[in-house]
Structure 1
Amino acid sequence: MTKPKFKKSTPFHQVLKSRIHGYFNERNLEQTGNIHLYTKAILLTTAFIGVYLHLLLGTPHWAIAIVECILMGSLAASIGFNVMHDGAHGSFSRHQWVNNLAGMSINFLGANVFMWKTKHNVVHHTYTNIEGVDDDMNARPFLRLCPAQKRYKMHRFQHYYFLLTYSLLYHYWVFVTDYKKYVTRRVGITPIARMKVKDHLSFWAFKVIHALLFIALPIFMVGFLPWLVGFLVFGFATGICLSVIFQMAHSVEETIFPLPEINGIKLEDDWATHQLRTTTNFATKNKLLTWLVGGLNFQVEHHLFPKVSHIHYPAISKIIKEVCNEYKVPYLEHAKLSHAFASHVHHLKNLGKA
């Protein structure tokens, strides 16, 4: 498949960039994170380590251990949303070495930031919701996430079992897709960047570290069966948190799933308009949710300005809404988390029909 091309940048996009840049320049603000983000990163990381050590050394009752494994999975997802995500986008800090360190938090959790940058920063942020290119739309054969994908009979029930599929994401990511990308040197149809020696060493070293911290050491400390149950529960919780938050931003009834024109190359919109038509916000007035998911409920702002830290999204969302109103470009959002979740379920149900 040939990668599609967008129309040339429009006045709408130019005005949007100008006003956002003006917002930061007028206030003499950095677009990156600040003390609030760094404090949150420390709190989330400390909480994760604390729960991990308590499970390993405290030998809690099995019922408490299950709850703590769910909590640890939620914290792992929150670290991914808040620390790794901003770091990998270069928006955590104005110092690149700090961004690199923040991005590498995903390596300790078993995945690989080098592979993730191609999958997310390069592919998903450019070709959002385009079947055959955006790898985030690929949950085949279990789920049909967009109209262009082949429908199987089991998809009639996907709005019932989708959370089960999402629960497998973390384990599948860590133990299958990372290695697949490493061997094939591709994310879907997109080649990954050339890996240097240090990238190869980092890939394998962190896979070993993860195996030691989350497999070998726990088995030694608590035994095989308790570890297996705990590790599965931890992974299920992480996978559901990650998948639901990201899918509610793109795989809903209101977003579009554009296909290139007949020649297979040209798209209907310019890049900025494409992002607005394929992305939706949800529950942006819920401050606790915003804190926990690293502002990814402000997905519109993130897709338009990925190098701006999520701590600025509530402020710049007002500017983006104004420009969208001026140029009659849609700005999609759900007022509540429950509304976005319901829209995702309805989207899956509709795609499951013949």
Structure 2
Amino acid sequence: MTSAAVRPGFRATRPRTDEPGAVTSTYSALSRTVRDAGLLHRTHGYYLWTLAVLTLALGGAVAGFVLLGDSWFQLLIAGALGLIFTQFAFVAHEASHRQVFASGPANDLLGRILANGVVGISHSWWMNKHTRHHANPNQRGKDPDIAPDVVVFLDEDAAAAKGFRSVINRYQGWLFFPLLTLEGLNLHVQAYRSLLAGGRTRGNVRDRVRELVILTLRLSLYVGAIFWFLPLGMAFAFLGVQLAVFGVYMGASFAPNHKGMAIIPENAKIDFLSKQVLTSRNIRGGWWMNVLMGGLNFQIEHHLFPSMPRPHLARAREIVREHCANLGLPYTETSLVQSYGIVVRYLNRVGLSARDPFDCPMFRQLRKV
């Protein structure tokens, strides 16, 4: 089993016994405890109220947009829409994990409506990418969330970067949050790229065409309304603010969960419990944090029980934390601000590792083994 050292800013529980049991065999016992506590039961009322509140908020934003007219106060509406769309994305994420309804088709339908029709991202692309992430969190060559992009998460990817991208990587920790202002646009672009290219996107041609139609209809109505009601410059500013807020909010909610945690070698075989706990980080906070992050603050419990509804995660945390303590398995929690500091430092370390003058290529290769 791969172990992970507890870094500054983390809070790890201590084992209650000096003789931890076999970790592999204990996940079943943990799962039974969670199931017997009723924590996998659906909470329809919670999601009904959540969707009702979000729908009212969206309606209020639309009404404000119409009433304000030609005013730079429209940028406040744009920012509000960025927040509202992110909250809808959280519920779409939960529906994708079968958290909302007991029926798979009902969850898929809700997920498609919210992702494609409201938020404007591809449900099938997200499902494929996110499913692979859950199966292999922070595992080299298997987790798409640590695959090289503008930002890199592995030393070898930083070393392979060339040109302007290598310059970005050197300072990527400090640039991370500014770059997130472009993530909203990137998510919309990825939606079209994945559906047009096919590839790993789930579903047949008919499903992809249906998604493309819904996405295009949503995009046309949304962008068309903005440019119809607002002057050209203000319309571009409105879109820029909305996409920036959406991108930062999405990235700032997902980034703290795994970045800077243990990286698993590509061919390593690790039991499910250890793999999910050692690569995930919880964010401390009360009910408001659960609302703010859409339940992603309980990342460990979410990865161990992906179909668990958001309202049950806090109770599950108590059970999982005690279970990990009894096994001597590090259970990592930190504050939101501390998690951002960890992410920035980790990204800077990875980026700077590419220009280490004492780095030996042979050592780099041997280190991967």
The answer to whether TM tops 0.5 is yes
Name the amino acid aligned to 1:10: T
**Contact 2:70/2:231 (8 A) holds in 1:** no
Higher relative contact order (CA 8 A, sep 6+): 2
Give the aligned partner of residue 347 of structure 2: 348
CA distance in 1, matches of 2:270, 2:157: 21
Give the aligned partner of residue 55 of structure 2: 45
Give the aligned partner of residue 140 of structure 2: 131
**Contact 1:56/1:222 (8 A) holds in 2:** no
CA distance in 1, matches of 2:68, 2:76: 14
Give the aligned partner of residue 262 of structure 2: 256
Name the amino acid aligned to 1:40: T
Give the aligned partner of residue 212 of structure 1: 220
Deviations 1:240-287 (A, max 9, x none): 1111111111113xx111112xxxxx314112211111110012x332
CA positional deviation for 1:340? 1.1
Structure 1 residues 233 and 37: alpha-carbon distance in aligned structure 2, compared to 1, 3 A threshold = same
**Contact 1:33/1:92 (8 A) holds in 2:** yes
Name the amino acid aligned to 2:216: V
Q: Partner of 2:270: helix, strand, or coil? A: strand
CA distance in 1, matches of 2:253, 2:127: 18
- % identity of equivalent residues: 21
In the comparison of the two structures, how many residue pairs are matched? 324
Q: Partner of 2:135: helix, strand, or coil? A: coil
Task: Write out aligned runs for 1:97-246 (5 A).
Answer: 98-104=106-112, 105-108=114-117, 109-120=119-130, 122-138=131-147, 140=149, 142-151=150-159, 152-175=166-189, 177-186=190-199, 191-195=200-204, 197=206, 199-246=207-254
CA distance in 2, matches of 1:248, 1:103: 24
CA distance in 1, matches of 2:331, 2:201: 32
Name the amino acid aligned to 2:218: H
CA positional deviation for 1:131? 3.3
CA positional deviation for 1:51? 0.8
Give the aligned partner of residue 98 of structure 2: 90
**Contact 1:77/1:241 (8 A) holds in 2:** yes
Give the aligned partner of residue 365 of structure 2: none
CA positional deviation for 1:48? 2.0
Q: Partner of 1:333: helix, strand, or coil? A: strand
Deviations 1:207-261 (A, max 9, x none): 2222222212221222332221111110111011111111111113xx111112x
CA distance in 1, matches of 2:109, 2:226: 25
Structure 1 residues 184 and 208: alpha-carbon distance in aligned structure 2, compared to 1, 3 A threshold = closer
**Contact 2:70/2:230 (8 A) holds in 1:** no
Name the amino acid aligned to 2:50: K
**Contact 1:147/1:257 (8 A) holds in 2:** no
Deviations 1:308-349 (A, max 9, x none): 111110011111111111222221111x21111111111122
Structure 1 residues 305 and 30: alpha-carbon distance in aligned structure 2, compared to 1, 3 A threshold = closer
Give the aligned partner of residue 337 of structure 1: 336
CA positional deviation for 1:101? 3.9
Q: Partner of 2:257: helix, strand, or coil? A: coil
C-alpha RMSD over aligned residues: 2.1
Structure 1 residues 272 and 56: alpha-carbon distance in aligned structure 2, compared to 1, 3 A threshold = farther
CA distance in 1, matches of 2:30, 2:135: 17
**Contact 2:181/2:244 (8 A) holds in 1:** yes
Give the aligned partner of residue 326 of structure 1: 326
Structure 1 residues 33 and 60: alpha-carbon distance in aligned structure 2, compared to 1, 3 A threshold = farther
**Contact 1:51/1:72 (8 A) holds in 2:** yes
- TM-score normalised by L of structure 2: 0.82
**Contact 1:48/1:75 (8 A) holds in 2:** yes
Give the aligned partner of residue 17 of structure 2: none
CA distance in 2, matches of 1:135, 1:232: 27
CA distance in 1, matches of 2:170, 2:158: 13
Give the aligned partner of residue 276 of structure 2: 275
Deviations 1:286-313 (A, max 9, x none): 3212123221100111111011111110
Q: Mind listing any 5+ residue stretches in structure 2 that lack a counterpart?
A: 1-21, 160-165, 354-369
